[in-house]
Amino acid sequence: MSGETSLSAKWTRPDDFIKLQRLKQKKKQLAARVSSNNNNNKLIELDENDKCKLLEAKIAQKRKNPFAKSIDGAKKQKIDDPTTATTGSASLTLPQDCFVRETPTRPQPAKLVLQKFDAQAFAKLLHQQHAAQADEEDDAALAARQKHTTHLPMDWCLKTRIRFFCPSELPATQLKTSQLASGLTSFVRCFDTNHSDSTLDISDATRFNQCTYYWQHPHLPWLTLFPRSAKENNGITIGDRERKALAEEWDYSFRGLFQLLRARQCPYFYLCANSFTVLFRAAGCGGRAEMHALVTPSTRGMRNALRQEGIEYTMPLKKDVNGGSSSLNGSLTEEPSNEAKPKTEADTTGAGKEQDEEDDDDEWLESLGVDERELRRIQTTHARKLQAAEMSEDFSDNSLLLIEGVECQGLFSYLLNAKSTITSVGRLAGVPPTLLSSVAFPKATMQHLVPRSKKVRLDGVDYHSIDIKGLLLPTFLPSVAALLCETRQMFSATLASSLNTLSFSKATQKLLESAPEEAQVAGEQVFGEQNLSECGLLPSVVGSICRTGEHAVGLLERVCYQRGEGYAWS
C-alpha cells in the first residue's frame, strides 16, 4: 500500500496542472506591470535637458528639409556677432559705436562696455549724413527743375510709352459697342464729340478711344516700321517686284500728304528713314510764318547733296567756334565760308580774294624752296582738318537742319529722288520710309494704340493707371490732357521719348526764344489758329501747336496736373 501511495504522489492531476499554468501566467503579467512602472518612473525623473536630447534625436531621424533655415547656424551667428547683446531671453541689436549701453533685466545702473575700436564706424556715420544731404539736394534740384504753367507745353519729339496715374477712376479701356463705334467714327470724320450736335456717344471712354488712333504708310504687319532699327527686322528680304510696288505706292502717298500740308489741311507729319527723320510742319506751327521742315540727324554727305541741289538751310543748334550758339538769321552754315547762303556778288568777290590769297601762299612757299610734293602734302593735311571739323557733329542733335519756305519744295523733290531715302542693303532694304500723321492721307493705314488699365498702390495710396506702349504723336498728350482736365481733379503722366527726335523740341524752343516778336506775329496775327482750324484736330490741340511765347515748347518726361493750380512738368 505504501508503494501505491508514493507512486500516486508523483503524478499531477489535470486540475492541478491547469491551476499551475494559470498561476504562472499571473506571475508573468505581474512582472510585466512592475517593469513598466519602473520605466515610467525613470522617464519622470529625466530633467529638461534629457527631454531636449530625446526630442533632437527623434527629429534627427526624420528626413531633412533642404529648404529649412539652419537654427544652429542662426544661433551661432547671433552669439558670435559682437553687435548683438542678449539679456535673458530677449536680444537687442546695437550699433557699432565706440560705447554700447547694456539693457539690464533688473532695475540696476546701466553699464558702459568698451568695444573694440572700429575706424570705419565714424566714416559710416558721416557717409549716412552725406547721403541724407545728397538726397535733400536732389529733391531740391528736382523741385527747381520743375516748371509750373497754366498750359501744357508742346513736345515735338515722338514718344514710345506713356503711363497715366489718377486717384479717381480713369476712362474705361474695355469699351462697349457704342463707345468703340463712336470713337472710331469721331476720329475718321474729325468730330469734336464734346461740342457737336451729333448723336454719337460722348462718354469719357469714347473720347479717350478717339485719341488712340493715327495714320501710317506703309504698313507691313510682319515688319516693325517704327523704330526702324528694331531687331525683328533682321534677316528679312524683299524681292524686286515687291520693292517696285512699295516705291510706287509710297511715291503717291508722299505726294498727297505734302499737298495736304501745303493747303494747311495737315498740320504736321513725320518721315522716318533708316538714318534720319524729317518733321514737316505747316505755316503757323511752332511760331514759324512759313511752311518748314526739320531734318535730324544730318551728315556731311547729306549737306553736300543738299547744297548741290541748291537747297538752303540753317543749323539752329550748331555752336560756333567760340563755344556759343550760332546766329539764326539765315547766315548760319556748317562751315565758315557760308556755303548754305545764296551767293551774292559780294560773296563771289570774297571767294575770289580768298582764292588769290591761297595762290599767293602757294607761290610764297615755292619761293622758299618747298617742293611740289611737300606742298601737296600740306594742302591735303589742311583739307583733312577742315573735313574733320565739319564732320565732328555728324549724327548728333547739333547737326539738325532747318529748311523753310520754298526750299521745302526742293527738299520734297530731293527725298522723292534720292537713292539714300530707300536703302538697298541692311535692315528694311527696299522698304520706303515710314510716313506718320494725325490726319488721313492717300494710301494710309489707320493704326490703333492698345491701352492697358490696372490699379496700383504707391505710398499707401491706391491709384488707377493706364499704360500705353507704341508710337505716340505730339498731339496725343494734349488731346488726353484736355479730356482729363475737364473730368478729373488731378492726374499725372510719365513719358518715354525717342532719342532720335529730341532735337525737334530743342530746335523749336530755341527758335522761339531767339525771335519772340516775329513768332508772336506769325503765331497769333497771321498764321495762327484760324488758318489751321480745318486741319482735323481739336481746337485745344491746334492752340497748343500754334502757341508762342514762354514755355510754349518743352521736353516732357513727367507731367502733373491739379485743378486750380495748373501743370507742373519736368
For residue 470, what is the enclosing H or E element?
A: strand 461-472
Residue 220 lies in a domain: yes
Position 333 confidence tier, pLDDT thresholds 50, 70, 90: very low
Least confident residue range of 55-64, 272-281, 414-423: 55-64
Summarize the confidence of residues 95-124 as an average pLDDT: 46
Q: Helices 240-262 and 407-417, interaxial angle, to 10°?
A: 170
Q: Helices 300-308 and 407-417, interaxial angle, to 10°?
A: 110
109 three-state secondary structure: coil
pLDDT at 93: 41
| pLDDT tops 60 at residue 192 | yes
Domain that includes residue 494, residue range:
149-312+420-569
pLDDT at 78: 45
| pLDDT tops 80 at residue 240 | yes
| pLDDT tops 80 at residue 498 | yes
Both ends of the chain: CA-CA distance in Å? Answer: 136
Output the 3-class SS for 282-314.
Answer: CCCHHHCCCCEEEEECCCHHHHHHHHHCCCCCE
Residue 120 lies in a domain: no
Measured in degrees and rounded to the nearest 5, phi and psi for residue 495 equal -130, 150
Residue 219 lies in a domain: yes
Residue 48 lies in a domain: no
pLDDT at 31: 85
| pLDDT tops 50 at residue 87 | no
Query: What span, in angstroms and rounded, lies between the C-alpha atoms of 561 and 451?
Result: 21
Q: What percent of the chain has pLDDT over 90?
A: 36
pLDDT at 241: 94
Summarize the confidence of residues 398-416 as an average pLDDT: 94
| pLDDT tops 90 at residue 452 | yes
Query: Could you tell me the CA-to-CA distances from 198 to 191, 210, 506 in Å, in that order?
Result: 9, 15, 40
Residue 114 lies in a domain: no
Residue 553 lies in a domain: yes
The more confident residue out of 135 and 352 is: 135
| pLDDT tops 80 at residue 540 | yes
| pLDDT tops 70 at residue 496 | yes
- Tell which residue, 212, 161, 157, has the closest CA to residue 183: 212
Least confident residue range of 61-75, 199-213, 236-250, 255-269: 61-75
Alpha helices in 194-298 (DSSP H): 204-210, 240-262
What rounded mean pLDDT belongs to the chain?
76
Are 413 and 404 within 8 A, CB to CB? no
Summarize the confidence of residues 84-110 as an average pLDDT: 42
SS3 content of the chain, % helix, strand, coil (to 5): 45, 15, 40
Query: In terms of pTM, does the model score above 0.75?
Result: no
pLDDT at 68: 64
Least confident residue range of 75-79, 144-148, 347-351, 352-356: 347-351
Summarize the confidence of residues 406-413 as an average pLDDT: 95
Are 532 and 542 within 8 A, CB to CB? yes
Least confident residue range of 143-147, 244-248, 445-449, 516-520: 516-520
Position 282 confidence tier, pLDDT thresholds 50, 70, 90: very high
pLDDT at 28: 86
pLDDT at 340: 39
| pLDDT tops 80 at residue 347 | no
| pLDDT tops 90 at residue 451 | yes
| pLDDT tops 90 at residue 414 | yes
272 three-state secondary structure: strand
pLDDT at 526: 46
What DSSP letter does each residue of 369-414 carry, written as one string?
A: T--HHHHHHHHHHHHHHHHHHHHTTTTSGGG-EEEETTHHHHHHHH
pLDDT digits (tens, 9 = 90+) for 139-164: 566 556 677 888 899 999 999 999 99
Residue 16 lies in a domain: no
Least confident residue range of 144-158, 374-388, 459-473: 374-388
The more confident residue out of 460 and 447 is: 447
Find where cell 526630442 sits. 55
Per the structure, the count of domains in the chain is 1
CA angle centred on 120, ends 118 and 122, rounded to 5°? 95
The more confident residue out of 337 and 512 is: 512
| pLDDT tops 50 at residue 378 | yes
Least confident residue range of 205-219, 375-389, 504-518: 375-389
- Catalogue the long-range contacts made by 556-559 (C-beta closer than 8 Å, 24 or more residues apart): 556/153, 556/155, 556/477, 556/495, 557/494, 557/495, 557/497, 558/492, 558/493, 558/494, 558/495, 559/152, 559/477, 559/481, 559/492, 559/493, 559/495
pLDDT at 5: 53
- Tell which residue, 480, 434, 471, 482, has the closest CA to residue 449: 471
Query: Could you tell me the CA-to-CA distances from 313 to 332, 341, 415, 516, 523 in Å, in that order?
Result: 8, 8, 15, 21, 22
- Cβ within 8 Å of residue 504, ≥6 positions away: 156, 157, 279, 294, 296, 400
| pLDDT tops 50 at residue 82 | no
Residue 453 lies in a domain: yes
pLDDT digits (tens, 9 = 90+) for 384-402: 766 666 666 787 888 999 9
